[in-house]
Amino acid sequence: MIGIVVTGHGNFPSGLAQATEMIAGSQKAFEVVGLQERESLESLESRLNEAVKGVCGSDGCVIFADLMGGSPSKEALDIAANNDNIEVVVGVNLPILIEATLARQFMNSPQELAKLAIQSGQAAIAYMKEIINRQSPAAFSLADD
């Protein structure tokens, strides 16, 4: 099974992981590494390396990071740079992580999983008023009848 590591700033990764497990169930080969305020980059690097070692078996793994250019994504890229079986996806959101956890057992590679997860995450981003205005307003009524 393709492993998953979720990383980012503060408690964002743990909250995202908790929400994912609430929807998709308990996960194996799934680790969370949140960069805490005042934590050194050396500490983050060490914890991220340990998480990757813990989940990245022969099937590889994908590291999902919150923000492009942030310290967690930079450390993730450093790890992935030396391993063709590790992918990094930045801009993680709940739909991306749910898709990844549910689909990973059916994917042939971390690259394939990363691409599918990104497509799901992008498709889930929407400006709802614009969608509602294109549909029948009654179809989206929030009032109780």
* CATH classification at residue 22: 3.40.50.510
DSSP H helical ranges for the chain: 12-24, 41-55, 71-81, 94-103, 110-123, 128-134
Say yes or no to pLDDT of 136 above 70. Answer: no
Q: What is the pTM of this model?
A: 0.91
% of the chain at pLDDT higher than 90: 87
Which amino acid, 20?
A: T
Say yes or no to pLDDT of 115 above 90. Answer: yes
Residue with the bigger pLDDT between 98 and 130: it is 98
Segments forming the whole domain that contains residue 129: 3-140
- Sheet containing 3-9: give its strands across: 30-35, 3-9, 61-65, 86-90
Strand partners, 4: 30, 62
pLDDT tens for each residue of 72-97 = 999 999 999 989 999 999 999 999 99
With respect to residue 145, please indicate whether it lies within any of the assigned structural domains. Answer: no
- Burial of 107: CB neighbours in 10 Å, binned 0-12, 13-18, 19+: buried
